[in-house]
Amino acid sequence: MEETKTAKGSLGLQTTRRSFLKGIMGAGAAVTAMSAGRMAKADNVKPYNFGQDLGPDVLKKMYNDMLIIRWHERTNADKRLAGTYRGSGHLYAGEEACAVGCIANLRNTGPFEQLDYVLSTHRDHGDALAKGSSVREVAAEIAMKSTGLDHGFGATMHLSDRRTGLLVSDSIIGGSPIFGMGVASGVKAKGTDQVVVAFMGDGQWANPMFHTGINNAAIRDLPLIIFITNNQYLQYGHYSMTTKLRDLADSAAAYGIPGVVVDGMDVLAVYDATNTAVKRARAGEGPTLIEAKTYRYYAHSGVSGSKPGIMGQIFGPDSSAINAFRSEREVRHYLALDPIVKFRGTLIEWGVLDETAATKIETDVKAVIADAFDFADKSPVPNPQDALKYVFAGPADARNLV
Ligand SMILES: Cc1ncc(C[n+]2csc(CCOP(=O)(O)OP(=O)(O)O)c2C)c(N)n1
Ligand SMILES: [Mg+2]
């Protein structure tokens, strides 16, 4: 039966509802065909691959690693609030998909000369744990204990681990792109197929060193991935105060290399984007700039905004994660996009985990972290006489570094 309701067509003509819908559908088909045509031409754009090459064990490990990072720092924050931890730090909660999704593509075990290298920043414990550093040694280093990754002399902002290829974490904004370019130069000079990832915040984009580093990497086709963890703020200013660009990745065009924007709250999207960049770097085709859009749940540093016992969505939302420069609505918006909750849901949806298996991973992670902080608590502080022991490398050590 003919539908008799009428709707106003775009040309102002009265049409029947059925013919109106037909018109809309026809226009939709034309738009789809046009976009398909456009996509077919953009041969450097890869569709979202959903980590198709990842088996269940790797996916479960990625989920485990995200939880390790979050619970490690939740425990750090709880103990700091209780006054029972020597360490400090810049909280990373909300950004776990960036470290885990990226580093899952890298060589993180094996001889030093074959590892892929990572450089990190003042917000480094996520990168260190994703790279595979001992959770005990990270807890001990942040507490400046002699059993820590750097024997207690590096502390929270200078984590490094030769065993995993975490070369340095540098708290100077602008350091990562320069060090990354230097290390990638070393790799290229040696002629291996190693890849270097320089993690940095959006604040580093605003430093001239960023542009020097990326341009030098580009003109020499270095095996470097410039990974911007864009949590949108550099301390207390929004990144839009430092640039007219909405997407920092657009700046890659100025240096003639690919620039990719990726959802930094989606571990599989980060995995896919990095996978393409790693293949390009290993093949000697040069650097890629990846900008992962993400959010940090808490204040820039310290534990303000965090509350004992709860953290983010996976362990219960924390309504006190608001502060003067970020609105409650903004924080709640990103809490609702929690990367761990999202990935957990995906793994259950895919049948990789069920509720029981997911809960078991979460319980096991908490036990591992409790043990790590117990280890840190019981460890001795460094011996002041050792202060210069790890500062200078002998010539033989220096030769082996890169
Ligand atoms: C050269 C330099 N200037 C200023 C600082 C002080 N500072 C520490 S962290 C930070 C903001 C960094 O923002 P971003 O790079 O986006 O990293 P995020 O803290 O958001 O992870 C600043 C300005 C610094 N460490 N180094
Ligand atoms: Mg930032």
The string of pLDDT tens digits covering residues 19-31 is 333 433 333 333 3
pLDDT of residue 31: 35
Question: Does the beta carbon of 204 sit less than 6 angstroms from any atom of ligand 1?
Answer: yes
Q: Which residues are close to ligand 2, an ion, with C-beta < 5 A?
A: 201-202, 231, 234
Report the separation in Å between the CA atom of 259 and the middle of ligand 2, taken as the mean of its atom positions. Answer: 18
pLDDT of residue 344: 97
pLDDT of residue 9: 30
- Give yes or no for a contact between 158 and 176, defined as CB atoms under 8 angstroms apart: no
* Rounded CA separation 37/309 (Å): 52
Smallest-distance ligand from the CA of 121:
1
Report the separation in Å between the CA atom of 122 and the middle of ligand 1, taken as the mean of its atom positions. Answer: 8
Smallest-distance ligand from the CA of 98:
1
Question: Does the beta carbon of 323 sit less than 6 angstroms from any atom of ligand 1?
Answer: no
Report the separation in Å between the CA atom of 396 and the middle of ligand 2, taken as the mean of its atom positions. Answer: 38
Report the separation in Å between the CA atom of 261 and the middle of ligand 1, taken as the mean of its atom positions. Answer: 21
Protein residue with its CA nearest to atom 4 in ligand 1: 173
Question: Does the beta carbon of 230 sit less than 6 angstroms from any atom of ligand 1?
Answer: no
pLDDT tens digit sequence for 251-261 = 999 999 999 99
Report the separation in Å between the CA atom of 93 and the middle of ligand 2, taken as the mean of its atom positions. Answer: 13
Low-confidence ranges of the chain (pLDDT < 50): 1-43, 316-317, 319-320, 399, 402
Question: Does the beta carbon of 171 sit less than 6 angstroms from any atom of ligand 1?
Answer: yes
What Å distances lie between residue 316 and 142, 250, 305, 310, CA to CA? 25, 36, 14, 6
pLDDT tens digit sequence for 2-56 = 333 333 333 333 333 343 334 333 333 333 333 333 444 444 555 678 888 999 9
Smallest-distance ligand from the CA of 209:
1
Protein residue with its CA nearest to atom 21 in ligand 1: 201
pLDDT of residue 400: 52
Residue with tokens 């006489």: 385
For the chain, how big is the Rg over CA atoms in Å?
Answer: 24
What Å distances lie between residue 196 and 187, 298, 381, CA to CA? 8, 29, 33
Residue 168, SS3?
Answer: strand
In 143-198, where does DSSP find H-type helix? Answer: 175-190
The helix or strand, by DSSP H or E, that contains position 225, with its residue range, turns out to be strand 224-230
Residue with tokens 């117990």: 374
Nearest to 130 by CA among 151, 105, 111: 105
pLDDT of residue 300: 87
Write the DSSP symbol of residue 380.
Answer: P
- Give yes or no for a contact between 114 and 48, defined as CB atoms under 8 angstroms apart: no
* Rounded CA separation 402/387 (Å): 24
Question: Does the beta carbon of 301 sit less than 6 angstroms from any atom of ligand 1?
Answer: no
pLDDT of residue 302: 79
